Amino acid sequence: MQKEKKKEEKELLTIHSSIDAEQPFRYSAGRYRSRFLTEIRDSQKFVGVRCPKCQKVYAPPKEVCGPCFCKMTEPVKVGPQGVIRSFTIVRFSFVDPETGATKAVPYASGIIQLDGADNAISHYIEYDDESRVRIGARVEPVFAEKRTGSMKDIKHFRLID
Ligand SMILES: [Zn+2]
């Protein structure tokens, strides 16, 4: 009896599931982000917001400027062009959790600062010549034909230098 109990205590098993587990979620974009997304969807334009204290322009917008801790109320048009501030070339294929399909590689993912904005957004960068993808390169958005009010309304940014 004692021996059997010891054996049970040592044997830790892992439970595997063969069921594909989805974890759908949604949350409110909020007033500021909703305006940003509806401008992209309806007008293919970018609207950020300026801090009345430090004058920084946030696009995507935030309701409160973190450093100043004050509410922002002045909408500001930014972009549509911008500059690559950082990027990576992805060479390993993986299943895109947003689509469930394998994303073709290589592709570039970058941090793009829209003209007139002080912060930046993350998005895909399309290119023909990988050597042209560099920090400081100018880009412009290519919008999706069918827009639904999400960041996917921008298909990607493309190089314009
Ligand atoms: Zn501020």
In order along its 161 residues, the chain shows pLDDT tens digits of 566 666 666 777 766 666 666 667 777 888 888 999 999 999 999 999 999 999 999 999 999 999 999 999 899 999 999 999 999 999 988 887 777 788 888 999 999 999 999 999 999 999 999 999 999 999 999 999 999 998 999 999 999 97
- pLDDT, residue 75, reads 94
What spacing in Å lies between the alpha carbon of 76 and ligand 1's midpoint?
A: 14
Distance 120 CA to ligand 1 centre (A): 16
Distance 50 CA to ligand 1 centre (A): 8
Q: How far is the CA of 58 from the centre of ligand 1 (A)?
A: 10
Chain center to CA of 48: 16
Ligand 1 centroid, distance to 117 Cα (angstroms): 13
Domain boundaries, the chain: 30-159
Q: Quick check: 155 and 52 in contact, CB under 8 A?
A: no
Q: What Rg do the C-alpha atoms of the chain give, in angstroms?
A: 22
CA of 121 to the centre of ligand 1 (A): 18
Q: What confidence tens digit (pLDDT) does each residue in 137-150 have?
A: 999 999 999 999 98
Alpha carbon of 66 to ligand 1 centroid (Å): 7
Ligand 1 centre distance from Cα of residue 35 (Å): 20
Residues 6+ apart with CB under 8 A from 113: 82, 83, 85, 119, 120
pLDDT of residue 7: 62
53 Cα to the center of ligand 1, angstroms? 5
CA of 52 to the centre of ligand 1 (A): 7
Cβ atoms of 28 and 37 within 8 Å: the answer is no
Nearest to 45 by CA among 73, 83, 75, 12: 75
What separation in Å is there between the alpha carbon of 72 and the centre of ligand 1?
8
pTM to 2 decimal places: 0.80
Q: Give the total residue count for the chain.
A: 161
> What is the distance in A from the centroid of ligand 1 to the CA of 116?
15
The neighbour count for residue 158, using CB atoms within 10 Å, is: 15
Phi, psi for 124 (deg, rounded to 5): -80, 150
